């Protein structure tokens, strides 16, 4: 590939300006034909990330060529080598590292201009206006036609269904009482929905390309982490009005994208992991917060991470690392390494009690195995083989099983059920043969769980979590994540936070 790239660069040098322009146009045409649908016509991102020099800082050109040619694991990105051939792949990559004619910008004024309230949040009844248990509702994201369903978690019947912004990603987050749910879309929109009144409250666009959001556990603030521009935006959780924008600049003076932002309830703070600079930022939010970051220097970039239940420790890996690091949030430094060989997807990791030991288990996106770690020593206890690399993992304090999917490869129709004490796979289910089965979420009491079959002609499948028998099947177009109100607002064991 090096030879190919330098050959391409040499060709570029030998060309006249007119010829270079023609090649740019050709590359732009290739981009519009093959890439724009996911990465946006202006390269500012959509389903996929932005593809501009500003956001490609950590990706060297040869790696970019590899991604365009061969695809990227753990994403929707497929390889284009067979479609385009080496020269066009190199031409396309050169184009991606060329600045846009008009640099994309998003300012506070843009954010303020997009803010809309559909109802006055203070005027709506503050008790549920539906007959379902408000604590046992599921919020279901339907990726196929960008909708959300609110599902009764006892009857497994829809209570409401509404259009969302394009490409919601990451878990929606709830107000501490479970009444409101906040969504972030990849293209920067934040929406607030009132579950008691089954109505959308308002929306605002905070960036061109957003990562995720978090809601403070006093219910007052929303923090949104962005890729483009690399920034954090604070909103008033009541009406989504703009409070503050914090450009993300590392101590090294370089701008950075945000990997993700989380609420750490026992610390009354937001914790932010950064993608292009080796830092973790913390923002305490009680008592008139000024939202100035406390900077913690880390040993590596933070692409994927998780927390211990008390939020004292942050576990993190970078996509390129062979292992991970444990950052002590109290001491403000990296205190330990974690032996994780298979590109762990720590964000989906879960913990549980095994005998008198607490364990943390995580899928790996480059190898078909679940890594199980002892949470006091961070030693690897076991690697549980699976039928292929997985993405999500889930359990519930009342269930003896942990569930994980096979998200990648030929066996992605399979989901494994793991005994939390023996750490053995006790059952492998193939809910809809030939279709990708992934991501489960348990009901409030853990008696049932819902699994997604990620297909245009897919389904939500409800299982009895003890007998593992199927209880119900609801046809759905690409259902992705599901979020139980009670489990989420209690930051329950076994679910994502």
In whole angstroms, how large is the CA radius of gyration of the chain? 23
Nearest to 488 by CA among 185, 256, 174, 246: 174
Pick the closer one to ligand DHE by CB: 128 or 171: 171
**Minimal distance, residue 57 CB to ligand DHE, in Å:** 16
Pick the closer one to ligand DHE by CB: 31 or 391: 391
Q: Which stretch binds ligand DHE (CB under 6 A): 169-177, 249-257, 422-430, 443-451?
A: 169-177
Pick the closer one to ligand DHE by CB: 317 or 334: 317
Pick the closer one to ligand DHE by CB: 128 or 368: 368
Q: Which residues are within 8 A (CB) of 419 and not within 5 positions of it... i.e. 6 or more apart? A: 400, 401, 426
**Minimal distance, residue 128 CB to ligand DHE, in Å:** 24
379 binds ligand DHE (CB under 6 A): no
Structure-token pair, residue 267: 């610390």
Sign of the CA dihedral 235, 310, 259, 382? negative
Q: Which of 171, 289, 344, 390 binds ligand DHE (CB under 6 A)?
A: 171
480 binds ligand DHE (CB under 6 A): yes
496 binds ligand DHE (CB under 6 A): yes
Q: Which residues, in sequence order, are bridge partners of residue 140?
A: 149, 482
75 binds ligand DHE (CB under 6 A): yes
**Minimal distance, residue 404 CB to ligand DHE, in Å:** 12
List the x/- string, 404-443, binding to ligand DHE by CB under 6 A: -----------------------------------x----
Structure-token pair, residue 95: 């184009």
Report whether the peptide linkage leading into residue 378 is cis, meaning its omega lies within 30 degrees of zero: no
What is the three-state SS of the chain? Answer: CHHHHHHHHHHHHCCCHHHHHHHHHHHHHHHHHHCHHHHCCCCCCCCCCCCCHHHCCCCCHHHHHHHHHHCCCCCCCCCCHHHHHHHHHHHHHHHHCCCCCCCCCCCHHHHHHHCEECCCCCCCCCCCCCCCCHHHEEEEEECCCCEEEEEECCCCCEEEEEECCCCECCCCEECCCCCEEEEEECCCEEEEEECCCCEEEEEEECCCEEEEEEECCCCCEEEEEEEECCEEEEEECCCCCEEEEEECECCCCCECCEEEEEEEHHHCEEEEEECCCCEEEEEECCCCCCCCCEEEECCCCCCEEEECCCCCEEEEECCCCCCEEEEECCCCEEEEEECCCCCECHHHCEEEEECCEEEEEEEECCCCEEEEEECCCCCEEEEEECCCCCCCEECCCCCCEEEEECCCCCCCCCEEEEECCCCCEEEEECCCCCCCEEEEEECCCCCEEEEEECCCCEEEEEEECCCCCEEEEEEECCEEEEEEHHHHHCCCCCCCC
347 binds ligand DHE (CB under 6 A): yes
Q: Which stretch binds ligand DHE (CB under 6 A): 55-63, 164-172, 189-197, 333-341?
A: 164-172
260 binds ligand DHE (CB under 6 A): yes
Q: Which stretch binds ligand DHE (CB under 6 A): 74-82, 198-206, 306-314, 415-423?
A: 74-82
143 binds ligand DHE (CB under 6 A): yes
Q: Which stretch binds ligand DHE (CB under 6 A): 57-65, 167-175, 322-330, 395-403?
A: 167-175
215 binds ligand DHE (CB under 6 A): no
**Minimal distance, residue 291 CB to ligand DHE, in Å:** 19
212 binds ligand DHE (CB under 6 A): yes
List the x/- string, 83-122, binding to ligand DHE by CB under 6 A: ----------------------------------------
Pick the closer one to ligand DHE by CB: 8 or 182: 182
74 binds ligand DHE (CB under 6 A): yes
Query: How many chain residues touch ligand DHE (CB under 6 A)?
Result: 16
76 binds ligand DHE (CB under 6 A): yes
**Minimal distance, residue 298 CB to ligand DHE, in Å:** 16
The residues in 273-302 that bind ligand DHE, with binding defined as CB under 6 A, are none
Q: Which of 350, 481, 492, 494 binds ligand DHE (CB under 6 A)?
A: 481
**Minimal distance, residue 312 CB to ligand DHE, in Å:** 20
In whole angstroms, how far apart are CA 92 and each of 28, 38, 68, 80, 82? 8, 15, 9, 11, 14
350 binds ligand DHE (CB under 6 A): no
Q: Which of 40, 153, 170, 458 binds ligand DHE (CB under 6 A)?
A: 170
Q: Which stretch binds ligand DHE (CB under 6 A): 70-78, 215-223, 228-236, 288-296?
A: 70-78
263 binds ligand DHE (CB under 6 A): no
Contacts to ligand DHE by CB under 6 A: 74-76, 143, 169-171, 212, 259-260, 347, 391, 439, 480-481, 496
């Amino acid at each position: 590939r090096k030879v190919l790239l330098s050959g391409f660069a040499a060709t570029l040098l030998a060309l006249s300006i007119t010829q270079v322009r023609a090649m740019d146009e050709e590359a732009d045409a290739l981009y519009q034909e093959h890439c724009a649908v996911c990465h946006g016509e202006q390269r500012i991102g959509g389903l996929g990330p932005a593809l501009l020099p500003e956001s490609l800082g950590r990706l060297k050109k040869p790696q970019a060529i590899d991604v365009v040619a061969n695809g990227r694991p753990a994403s929707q990105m497929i390889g284009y080598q067979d479609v385009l051939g080496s020269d066009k792949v190199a031409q396309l990559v050169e184009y991606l590292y060329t600045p846009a004619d008009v640099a994309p910008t998003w300012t506070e004024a843009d954010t303020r201009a997009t803010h809309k309230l559909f109802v006055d949040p203070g005027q709506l009844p503050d008790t549920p206006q539906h007959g379902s248990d408000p604590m046992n509702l599921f919020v279901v994201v339907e990726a196929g036609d960008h909708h959300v369903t609110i599902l009764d978690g006892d009857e497994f019947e829809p209570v409401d269904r509404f259009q969302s912004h394009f490409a919601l990603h990451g878990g929606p987050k709830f107000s501490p009482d479970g009444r409101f749910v906040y969504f972030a879309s990849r293209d920067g929109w934040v929406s607030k929905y009132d579950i008691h009144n089954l109505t959308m409250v308002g929306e605002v666009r905070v960036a061109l390309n957003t990562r995720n959001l978090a809601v403070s556990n006093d219910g007052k603030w929303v923090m949104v982490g962005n890729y483009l521009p690399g920034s954090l935006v604070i909103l008033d959780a009541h009406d989504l009005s703009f409070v503050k924008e914090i450009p993300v600049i590392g101590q090294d003076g370089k701008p950075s994208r945000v990997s993700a932002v989380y609420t750490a309830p026992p610390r009354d703070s937001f914790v932010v992991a950064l993608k292009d600079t080796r830092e973790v930022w913390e923002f305490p939010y009680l008592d008139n917060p000024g939202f100035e970051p406390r900077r913690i220097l880390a040993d590596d970039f933070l692409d994927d991470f998780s927390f211990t239940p008390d939020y004292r420790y942050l576990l993190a890996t970078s996509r390129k690392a062979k292992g991970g690091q444990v950052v002590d949030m109290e001491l403000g430094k990296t205190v330990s390494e974690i032996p994780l060989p298979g590109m762990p997807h720590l964000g989906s990791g879960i913990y549980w009690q095994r005998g008198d030991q607490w364990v943390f288990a995580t899928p790996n996106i480059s190898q078909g195995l679940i890594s199980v770690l002892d949470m006091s020593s961070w030693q690897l206890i076991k690697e549980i083989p699976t039928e292929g690399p997985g993405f999500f993992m889930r359990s519930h304090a009342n269930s003896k099983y942990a569930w994980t999917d096979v998200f990648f490869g030929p066996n992605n129709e399979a989901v494994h059920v793991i005994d939390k004490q023996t750490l053995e796979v006790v059952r492998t289910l193939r809910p809809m043969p030939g279709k990708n089965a992934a991501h489960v979420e348990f009901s409030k009491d853990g008696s049932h769980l819902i699994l997604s079959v990620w297909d245009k002609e897919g389904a939500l499948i409800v299982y009895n979590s003890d007998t593992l028998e199927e209880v119900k099947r609801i046809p759905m177009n690409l259902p992705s994540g599901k979020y139980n109100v009670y489990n989420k607002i209690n930051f329950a064991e076994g679910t994502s936070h």
